C-alpha cells in the first residue's frame, strides 16, 4: 500500500510542477512565431516560481514585450547552472496582457511584470527585470513605470 501511495504522490508532484511552470505557460499562450525586429538587450529575468534567473534577450515595441533565448548564454552554459536553460523559445507578450509596476526589494530595484490571464490559484504568472534594464527599454516605446 505504501508503494502505491508513494508512486501516486511522486506523480502528483511531477504533474503540479509541470502545470505551474511559468515559462511553459507563457510559451503555450505567447509563443513568438515571427522574427522580432526591434532593438534587444541581454539581461537576467527572474521568474518567481522557478526561483532562479534566465539570461535572455529582451525587447519592446509599441505592441508588446519580447523575451527570447540568449545565444551567448547557451555558449556559457554549465551543468551546474540551470538558469540558462529556462527560455528556449521566443515569447511576445502584448501590452494588453501585461501589468507592470516598480518594486523595491532588499536585492535592488526591479520591475514586476504580471500576466493575469495565466492565473494559478491566487497568483498570476510573474517575472522580474531589473529597473536599470527595464526603465530605458520601456521608455523607448513611450511607457513609464508606475510605482509599486
Cα–Cα distance for residue pair 108/44, rounded to 1 Å: 13
Task: Quick: pLDDT tens for 9-54.
Answer: 666 555 445 444 677 778 888 888 888 888 889 988 888 766 667 7
Cα–Cα distance for residue pair 124/97, rounded to 1 Å: 11
Non-local CB neighbours of 82 within 8 Å, separated by 6+ positions = 52
Q: How many CB atoms lie within 10 A of CB 50?
A: 17
Higher pLDDT, residue 6 or 62: 62
For the segment 115-143, the average pLDDT, to the nearest whole number, is 83
Cell 494559478 sits at which residue?
A: 120
Cα–Cα distance for residue pair 101/93, rounded to 1 Å: 16
pLDDT at 19: 46
Burial grade of 48 (CB within 10 A; 0-12, 13-18, 19 or more): middle
Check whether 93 has a pLDDT greater than 70: yes
Q: Which domains does the chain have, with CATH numbers?
A: 22-139 (2.30.29.30)
pLDDT at 100: 92
pLDDT at 84: 46
Question: pLDDT band at residue 63, thresholds of 50, 70 and 90?
Answer: very high
For the segment 67-95, the average pLDDT, to the nearest whole number, is 69
Amino acid at each position: 500500500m505504501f508503494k502505491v501511495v508513494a508512486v501516486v504522490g511522486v506523480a502528483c508532484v511531477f504533474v503540479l510542477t509541470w502545470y505551474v511552470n511559468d515559462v511553459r505557460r507563457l510559451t503555450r499562450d505567447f509563443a513568438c512565431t515571427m522574427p522580432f525586429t526591434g532593438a534587444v538587450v541581454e539581461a537576467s529575468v527572474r521568474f518567481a516560481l522557478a526561483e532562479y534567473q534566465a539570461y535572455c534577450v529582451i525587447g519592446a515595441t509599441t505592441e508588446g514585450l519580447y523575451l527570447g533565448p540568449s545565444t551567448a548564454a547557451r555558449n556559457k552554459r554549465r551543468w551546474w547552472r540551470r538558469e540558462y536553460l529556462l527560455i528556449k523559445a521566443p515569447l511576445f507578450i502584448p501590452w494588453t496582457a501585461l501589468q507592470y509596476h516598480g518594486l523595491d526589494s532588499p536585492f535592488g530595484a526591479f520591475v514586476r511584470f504580471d500576466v493575469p490571464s495565466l492565473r494559478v490559484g491566487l497568483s498570476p504568472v510573474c517575472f522580474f527585470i531589473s529597473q536599470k534594464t527595464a526603465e530605458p527599454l520601456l521608455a523607448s516605446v513611450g511607457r513609464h513605470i508606475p510605482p509599486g
